[in-house]
């Protein structure tokens, strides 16, 4: 299954046995965000907490 990252637009292949696939299947309306962007968001969130 191919999904497109809502932030960078990168298309990623998600294997059916992964947790990400299960999450997408359970909530199809939930926007997909690739791992790189997730890490970026988490880093930004940590930065905001410190300020």
Give whichever of 11 and 50 is closer to Zn ion, judged by the CB atom.
11
List, in order, residues 6 or more apart from 47 with CB less than 8 Å away.
none
Residue 14 makes contact with Zn ion by CB under 5 A? no
User: What one-character DSSP code corresponds to residue 12?
Assistant: E
Taking CB under 5 A as the rule, does residue 8 contact Zn ion? yes
User: Is residue 6 within 8 Å of residue 33, measured between CB atoms?
Assistant: yes
Does the protein bind Zn ion through residue 7 (CB under 5 A)? yes
Q: Is 5 in the site for Zn ion (CB under 5 A)?
A: yes
Question: Which residues contact Zn ion (rule: CB under 5 A)?
Answer: 5, 7-8, 10, 34, 37
């Amino acid at each position: 299954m191919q999904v497109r990252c809502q932030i960078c637009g990168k298309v990623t292949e998600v294997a059916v046995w992964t947790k990400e696939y299960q999450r997408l299947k359970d909530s199809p309306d939930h926007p997909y965000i690739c791992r790189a962007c997730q890490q970026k968001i988490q880093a930004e969130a940590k930065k905001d907490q410190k300020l």
